Amino acid sequence: MKHAAMTYAASLSALLLSTVAIAQMPYAGLQARQVKALSEQQIADLRAGRGMGMALPAELNGYPGPSHLLELADQLALRPEQRAGIAAMFADMKAEAIPLGERLIEQESAIDRLFSEKTASLQGLQQATLAAAKTQGELRAAHLKYHLLTVAVLDKQQMDRYSQLRGYAPGAPAHRHRRSD
């Protein structure tokens, strides 16, 4: 019995120590990233013009995104002219978002280089981070803009159905958001 208790205590101690060690190294392995501040998934999403949750204030307050509307077009009974208009919005959004995403990747890479090349200064860091923040704001505004524009294309029943299909309406089943959005 005493042996079992000591084995249990030793196992528990080892588990606690490993948990502490992991907690002290939350960024271990990230040093190998191409761009330290961005995961490979984030880079892929930025290059593809995906929203990455940037338009959640619009989406969750009744302003559907063009991508989701196209995915749900049949269930929403979108008319051909609505589909065409939303498809054009989606193409315009991508055309706007992709270059901004590429610019953000480059700006984050520049911030990374300031440190990797040991050339960071307070002034250079301030300029680089403000430039990246401005681009991120422009990118977010682009995604939010197209959520705003879709409302004019839909009727009330389609808006209500969209909320239901996405799981936002009271009593609607929860919708699982795709990782790529």
In tens, the pLDDT along 19-41 reads 555 567 788 888 888 899 999 99
48: pLDDT strictly greater than 80: yes
Instruction: Read off the pLDDT of each residue in 137-142 and give the average, rounded to a whole number.
Output: 98
Q: Which residue has the higher pLDDT, 79 or 179?
A: 79
Alpha carbon 85 to chain centroid distance? 25
CA distances for 47 relative to 24, 27, 53, 121, 161, angstroms: 32, 24, 15, 29, 31
Q: Which residue has the higher pLDDT, 1 or 62?
A: 62
Q: Which two tokens stand for residue 100?
A: 């901004």
> N- to C-terminal Cα distance for the chain?
55
CA 170, CA 48: separation in Å to the nearest integer?
A: 33
125: pLDDT strictly greater than 80: yes
Mean residue pLDDT of the chain comes to 88
Instruction: Read off the pLDDT of each residue in 94-119 and give the average, rounded to a whole number.
Output: 97
Residue 180 pLDDT class (50, 70, 90 cuts):
very low
The pLDDT value given to residue 34: 86
% the chain with pLDDT above 90: 73
Total length of the chain: 181
